[in-house]
Copies of this chain bind each other. A is one copy, B any other.
């Protein structure tokens, strides 16, 4: 029904996760209406980003430099390493300005159900870096979920015997959230991890 070239464009948008037929149609139509200049910028930005952006060889964070600007920043606290599952979380923490150590980005989380094993998410590279490095604390900042817990436990186990503090971020009811909207797992965790009021 659609002209072939429009059909292709709609299919192209559908490659992006979370974009279904309806949204792809809407985006394709609006792209056709885009002025030449903006369209060219958009196409160029896709190609440039794809060509230039790669993983930092030290921490696996995405970057367009040889080494990412966090690893090459002399002012960071090099005694602390924060392990995240995704580059997005590095950007998030940096935006909030709540952490000043170094990062290590995994390629996702271990998942027994999906058959994702430690070697698939680059844990060997992480361990190698920690063994060669001079870290005092490893902070595991992964999602509190089955996969997150599995990954955290695996990393803790594999680092056993090294002179390191290994911590993980707290899990519980978020600030300002209504209790009744929390799932059972979150509430159970919040209860089990209760802290004495000082």
Interface residues of A (CB under 8 A from B): 1-6, 8-9, 11-13, 15-19, 25-32, 34, 36, 38-39, 41-50, 52-53, 62-65, 87-88, 91, 94-95
Query: Oligomeric state, in number of copies?
Result: 2
A11 (CB) vs chain B CBs: closest residue: B45
Contact A31–B49 (Cβ < 8 Å): yes
Other-chain residue from B6, B31, B43 in contact with A16 (beta carbon distance below 8 A):
B31
Q: Pick from B15, B26, B29: contact of A42, CB below 8 A.
A: B15
Q: Is the CB of B42 within 8 A of A12?
A: yes
B53 touches A6 (CB 8 A): yes
Residues of B within 8 A of A17 (CB): 30
Chain B: minimal CB distance from A36 (Å): 8
| CA–CA, A8 and B64, complex, Å | 12
A13 to B45 alpha-carbon distance, docked (Å): 9
User: A46, B12: Cβ atoms under 8 Å?
Assistant: yes
- B5, B16, B53: the one within 8 Å of A48 (CB): B5
Query: A8-B45, A18-B26 in contact; A50/B31 too (CB < 8 A)?
Result: yes
- Residues of B close to A88: CB separation below 8 A: 25, 29
Answer whether A1 and B91 are a contact pair too, CB < 8 Å, given A26-B18, A50-B39.
yes
For A53, what are the chain B residues with a Cβ–Cβ distance below 8 Å?
3, 5-6, 32
